[in-house]
Structure formats: C-alpha cells, structure tokens
C-alpha cells in the first residue's frame, strides 16, 4: 500500500492536456508524416478508404482527406510537430491551432472500421441532425440527406470543412427528436 508512482501521475496529466489537431501535409505524404509522428511518440491518424484504380481495377487504399492528417498532442509543443518531414502547418485561426472534437475523430474511426464504402463529399452545414439506430454504426451522429435517391448520412469535420458520406436505409436513422427519418 505505497504511494502511486509519479510516472503514472505525470502520464495522466499529459494525456489530459493532449487534444486532436488537424495537420496539413504535403501532397501524397500523409502516411510518411503519420509514421514520422508515430516515431516521435505522437498518436497520428490518417482516415483512409479503398478505391479501384487503373485499367486492371486494382484496389488501393487512399487518404479520405488528401493532404490532411490528425495528430494528438499538447498544443504547447506545436514546433515539434512542424519539424516532422511532410507536415506543412497546423489548422487553426492565425497562429493558434484549433482542436478537433474527440467525437469527430471517433466518428471517422468508426466509419473507417465499418467496412462500408466511403466517399468524400462537399462540406454541408445545413441538414437534419440524425443518429444511426442500428448496425455497426449505431450511435454515430451526422446529417441525413438524399443522394442519388438513397438515404445518406454525412459525418463532418468542422475544422477541415470536409465531410464523409455513407449510404444507409432510412429505417436505420432516427432524428434527434427521437423520430425515424422518412424515406
């Protein structure tokens, strides 16, 4: 029954101050920047999707948001992040980095793990806020729109002004008021 180790206490304090930030990186260097950040001990995330490319229709993994990645770190050490090869800037207002909400990162990770076909779309700030009510994406929140005559949920990352859409059945979606969305 001794005192808690100071290392664990320090680690908890560090994790509390760490937040997610969006980084702009050089074109096609998202993965290299992610590896560079990981080698320096930072948690980095590049959302990806699978596409078919070329005459042989080879399936390849590409970034969902080309030129961007997300990194979790303490905002006071941004100079160390900018020293990583491939990282160009940190998104924010002027010289002040703007954090990305944890739930937006969690939504992107859930979408990536879902195995559904993802495609980037234009950022939408208007639309019906919905929650997915069933399946592997249950609990995910986003905007419900009609696209190609199919119900689609759009998950947006405010800071990047980018969005991701996934097709769903109307019966799998409820509005924030608790009512099912009509098809």
Give residue 16's pLDDT.
59
Q: Which of 122, 62, 123, 68 has the alpha carbon at shortest distance from 91?
A: 68
Q: Give the structural domain span for 12.
A: 1-100
Q: Looking at residue 82, what is its pLDDT?
A: 95
Instruction: Label residue 144 left, alpha or beta by phi (over 0 means left) and psi (-120 to 50 means alpha).
Output: beta
- The total number of structural domains in the chain stands at 2
Per-residue DSSP letter, 162: E
Residue 130 lies in a domain: yes
Residue-wise pLDDT for 56-73, tens only, equals 888 888 999 999 999 999
Share of the chain above pLDDT 70, in %: 77
Q: What is the dihedral of CA 45, 90, 21, 162, to 10 degrees?
A: -80
CATH code for position 24: 3.30.70.940
Stronger pLDDT, 144 or 48, i.e. the higher one: 48
Q: What is the pTM of this model?
A: 0.68
Tell me the C-alpha distance between 160 and 105, whole Å.
12
> Could you tell me if 56 and 121 lie in one domain?
no
Distance CA 65, CA 180 (A): 31
């Amino acid at each position: 029954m001794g005192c808690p180790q100071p290392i664990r206490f320090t680690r908890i304090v560090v994790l509390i101050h760490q937040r997610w930030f969006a980084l702009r990186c050089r074109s096609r260097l998202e993965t290299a920047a992610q590896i560079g950040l990981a080698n320096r001990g930072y948690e980095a995330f590049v959302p990806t999707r699978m596409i078919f490319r070329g005459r042989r229709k080879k399936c390849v993994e590409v970034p969902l948001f080309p030129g961007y990645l997300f990194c979790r770190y303490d905002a006071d050490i941004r100079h160390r992040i900018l020293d990583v090869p491939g990282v160009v800037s940190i998104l924010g207002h002027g010289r002040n980095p703007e954090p990305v909400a944890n739930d937006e990162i969690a939504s992107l990770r859930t979408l990536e793990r879902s195995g559904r076909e993802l495609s980037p779309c234009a950022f939408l700030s208007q639309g019906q806020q919905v929650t997915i009510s069933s399946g592997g994406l249950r609990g995910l929140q986003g905007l419900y729109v009609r696209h190609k005559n199919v119900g689609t949920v759009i998950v947006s990352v405010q800071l990047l002004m980018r969005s991701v859409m996934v097709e769903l059945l109307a019966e799998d979606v409820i509005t924030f008021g608790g009512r099912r969305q009509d098809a």
